[in-house]
Structure 1
């Protein structure tokens, strides 16, 4: 399982790369001034960073308990990305609506478009991160041995 320092590196690198992509892209696609999109992106990144840390910690603990390993198959990576994004949409829609002064439906549509981007981005980023910083799993104890 990943340690705290590794999880912090993961969250920070995930958010910095994402912000560098979504700020100009979001400003262009949604017709929002770059400064406002950057502010929404920064606020969303802070919220997402906290969610990212907690979600990944919980997901890894669940995998370790249910499977005895935190290694992810392709199917588990897809499940991981989908569950992460669903939780994040629930948290971010009210924030985006409030900050941009738009309705919840418009904020939901904007957030769903961004979630589509992040679904692909999270999958690719996490796969690449695991390749660059592979897990070193501890040997599992043999049953009956102390």
Structure 2
């Protein structure tokens, strides 16, 4: 499993890069002042950062409990991204409506748009992160021949 420092690096890099993309893009798409979209994006990023840490920790623990490892297939990566965004949608929609003085339907459409962006972004980012910073494997897991040979030689 990942260390706490690795999870913090993951969360911060995910949110900083995401914010740098979504604030100007949201301003353009929704034709709203950058200040308003920026505040929503920043609040969403902070909330998402907290949720990201907790969600990934729980998701990894569930994977270890179910399968004994944290290696994600394509299907698990899709499920991971969808579940993460669904959790944020429930919390953010009423906050967006309140702050931007828009209807819940408008907030829902905005939130769905942000979620669609982040769904794709999360999939790509997490895959790239796993390639750049692989999860350390426990000794003897996943058919490690050297560990098996060393233990049989003892």
TM-score by length of 2: 0.89
Q: Within 5 Å, give how 1:1-146 maps onto structure 2.
A: 1-140=1-140
Aligned to 2:147: none
CA radius of gyration, larger in: 2
Give me the whole-angstrom Cα distance separating, in 1, the residues matched to 2:99 and 2:45. Answer: 14
Give me the whole-angstrom Cα distance separating, in 1, the residues matched to 2:74 and 2:51. Answer: 22
How many Å apart are 1:139 and its aligned residue? 2.2
What residue ranges of structure 1 are gaps of 5+ in the alignment?
142-146
Aligned to 1:144: none
Give me the whole-angstrom Cα distance separating, in 2, the residues matched to 1:27 and 1:109. Answer: 15
Q: CA RMSD in A?
A: 1.0
What residue ranges of structure 2 are gaps of 5+ in the alignment?
142-154
Deviations along 1:53-86, whole A, 9 cap, x unmatched?
1110000000000000011011110110111111
How many Å apart are 1:140 and its aligned residue? 4.8
How many Å apart are 1:35 and its aligned residue? 1.2
TM-score by length of 1: 0.94
**How many aligned positions are there?**
141
How many Å apart are 1:16 and its aligned residue? 0.4
Following superposition, which runs of at least 4 residues in structure 1 exceed 3 angstroms of deviation? Answer: none
